[in-house]
Structure 1
Amino acid sequence: MNESETRWLSAEEQKVWRTFMQAFNDFNAHLDRQLRRDSGMPVAYYEILVMLSEAPDHCLRMGELAELVRSSRSRLSHAVAALEKSGYVSRCPADGDRRGAVARLTDTGMAALEEAAPGHVTEVRERLFDPLTEEQVKALGEIAEAVAAGMRPACEKAIAEEFAAEAVTEV
């Protein structure tokens, strides 16, 4: 796309964009600091534990887990290795697939998640939901759904391209 085809943001859109990004970055950084301080884990590790806790038998294939936490497979592999070192996750071969691996939440990992969750939920409630009215919470949900739906095709394409690139390097 050349510059003449670019649909530049209006002044109002630019203001909303910058405010949104500042709020999002501040919120995520705050949650990360809180989890590191109170539970010794970054928010990315917490998300991995949550996804595993909600999965059947508390385990997921690594590729599926990477998609759920919006991570590259290599970045997820490093995170799972750190969680293994802490005893929170174990990794084992996938049934019937020599190259596939499954991440499983351990009892120690579930206990760490259960200990971290109250402080994390309190921060989410106090920083995100308490400042909003019921109508704003509903609107935020609708906005988030619309943005996610708009992003889905691009995300699915990027994941497919990453998977294909990793498959080539594994051969």
Structure 2
Amino acid sequence: MDNTPWLTDDERDAWLFLSSVIFNLPGALETQLERDSDLSFVEYMVLAMLSEAPESRLTMTELARQTNTLLPRLSRVVTRLEKYEFVERTVWAKDRRVSICHLLPAGREKILEAAPGHVLEVRRQIFDRLNKRQTVQLAKIGEAILGGKPSEIITVKKSVIEE
């Protein structure tokens, strides 16, 4: 006997729409970033999260969390960004097991150059298609699925890198 709680028609439709967004939206955003700024989406997110962090620096663990990236992949991305002198990685003096990533002036310039085009693409792909009520609903749906608001889920742990 099959006890699987199969999706209802409404749940199936919602799931198919969500999975389509999951698979298609990142590609559209990445295409714009690569074309206009020569950055991948994850490279953009690394620079953006560092630009918003206190003193423009985060531990690699916190940066991985904020960019939804596994540490091995983040390490490869940061290595590429270091080659362009957008970021630098250092070891924390208080705990040599902790690596800290710091945004450099060239990285700040790059994110300031890339952000306007990225925001326009986000608007074009998402918010130009939604009214205010739908935007609020989208945020509430995301909060329900992820278990909190991004500002609650992604927190900058200042005390981790204070000297």
Counterpart of 1:74 in structure 2 is 72
Query: Does 2:18 align with 1:20?
Result: yes
Name which structure has the greater RCO, CA cutoff 8 Å, separation 6+.
Answer: 2
- 1:95: how far off? 2.3
How far is 1:5 from its partner? 4.2
Equivalence for 2:31: 33
Give 5+ residue unaligned stretches, structure 1.
156-171
Unmatched tracts of structure 2, length 5 or more:
154-163
Q: Deviations over 1:112-157 (max 9, x none)?
A: 000000000001112211111111111111111111107xxxx9xx
Instruction: Give identity over the alignment, percent.
Output: 38
Rounded to whole Å, the distance in 2 between the matches of 1:117 and 1:49 is 10
1:31-65 Cα offsets, whole Å, 9 max, x none, are: 00000010101101101111101111100111111
> 1 CA distance for matches of 2:70 and 2:24?
23
Which secondary structure state, in structure 1, belongs to the residue aligned with residue 91 of structure 2?
Answer: strand
- 1:66-88 deviation line (CA, Å, top 9, x unaligned): 11111111111111101101111
Deviates further, 56-65 or 21-30: 21-30
Distance 1:5 1:82 in 2: 49
Q: Out of 112-121 and 11-20, give the one that drifted further.
A: 11-20
| Equivalent position of 2:85 in the other structure | 87
In the other structure, the counterpart of 1:149 is 147
Quick one: distance in 2 between partners of 1:119 and 1:104?
24
Q: TM-score scaled by structure 2? A: 0.86
Aligned residue number for residue 168 of structure 1 = none
Aligned to 1:51: 49
How many equivalent residue pairs? 150
Aligned partner (choices 121, 137, 149) of residue 123 of structure 1: 121
CA distance in 2, matches of 1:97, 1:24: 37
Moved more, 103-112 or 87-96: 87-96
TM-score by structure 1 length? Answer: 0.82
Equivalent position SS for 2:146? helix
Distance in 2 (CA, whole Å) between partners of 1:69 and 1:113 is 15
Counterpart code for 1:75: R
Structure 2 residue matching 1:36: 3-state secondary structure:
helix
